[in-house]
Amino acid sequence: MKINIYYGGRGMMDDPTLYVINKMQQVLEELHVTVERFNLYELKSGITTLPQTLKTADGIILAYTVEWYGIGGYMHQFLDACWLYGDKEKISRIYMCPIVMSTTYGEREGKMTLSSAWEILGGLPCSGICGYIADTLTLEMNEDYNRLIEKKAENMYRTISQKMTSLPASNQAVKQRVAVMKNIDLTPQESEQLSQYASDEQYVQKQKADIQELASLFRDMMGNCTPEHDTEFLEEFREIFKPQPGFKAVYKIGIEKHNLPLAIRVEQAKLSCAYENVTDFDVEIQTTGEVLRDICEGKISFQRAFMAGNMKMKGDFKILRAMDQVFPFQKSESEL
């Protein structure tokens, strides 16, 4: 899966929109999504060529900050270019998530503008984010806001992977009746220019380091919670274990109200389960005891729990799917 981010702001360090898209990019990359960012203020001389970059994307994020009135000129130019030069058939299969932060007024109107524009282009809608943020520190220090941003990124991933449908919109009907669209082929020189684009990689890496530091601090604070049972779920995993030829994996399952994570090591026919800290793992899972109990009772699979938003994961999604084969709590998994 590939998602492009088109940022239409000015690139200021205290821009709240930058914080939001950096956070979403981190979550998507943890889900093994290829993310490419295009800062329109850096590419203003070649905005008309950017619709070509949509051809390899499964979904996009359109993001900007309302600093005065309405969406900025760079975002307008990009949307105009999509109308004039974009491949409308390809756009009709691309999901778009709007992100609009405001330091003044008009974030809701801006989000609606982006959603309407993309639907008129024929694209698919995706739930977005909008909000009034006077100080970026408000986002950085509020865990509830950060969880909301992470949830939106996970929802976007599920929407694209499951190819969710939506009811037809009236603006699409208007486009089909009255709009005359022409696809304009780009020159070889314009196509070659696309390979020269570069994102601000240094800034992205700094944001990732800061987020990891905050996440580590938060986990240490949560370490004061008292576990209910240090042997809970161990016997269930040992009894249901079904070795898979040639399969090796280490799972780290963080369970709410447990001090230590549940470490599960699988090496073909060998299995070890224990509550302990583990640093070398293939998949990290965060969930609650109630969800894990439902899995052990065969009410839901690991994959279904993740797709429903009842657990978070980092690592290889294929290894998570294999967990339902190695530990077949459900006797019949027709959905896998």
Domains of the chain: 2-216 (3.40.50.360), 234-326 (3.30.1050.10)
Name the residue among 5, 22, 6, 61 with its Cα closest to residue 210.
22
Check residue 26 and give its pLDDT.
Answer: 93
At 202, the pLDDT band (50, 70, 90 cuts) reads low
Closest CA to 11 of 199, 149, 214: 199
Residue 219 has pLDDT above 80, yes or no: no
Q: Is 181 left (phi over 0), alpha (psi -120 to 50) or beta?
A: beta
Pairing state between β 59-66 and 2-7 = parallel
**Neighbour tally for 240: CB within 10 Å:** 13
Q: What is the pLDDT of residue 175?
A: 58
**How far is the C-alpha of 201 from the C-alpha of 198, rounded, in Å?**
8
Helices (H), 162-200: 170-178, 188-194
In terms of residues, how long is the chain? 336
β-bridge partners, 34: 2
Mean pLDDT of 190-219: 62
pLDDT in tens, 95-141: 999 999 998 888 899 899 999 999 988 899 888 999 998 888 888 89
Q: What does the pLDDT look like over 235-282, one tens digit per residue?
A: 999 999 999 888 999 999 999 888 889 999 999 889 999 999 888 889
Chain mean pLDDT for the chain: 83
Rounded mean pLDDT, 54-63:
94
Residue 172 burial (10 A CB sphere; 0-12, 13-18, 19+):
middle
pLDDT of residue 98: 95
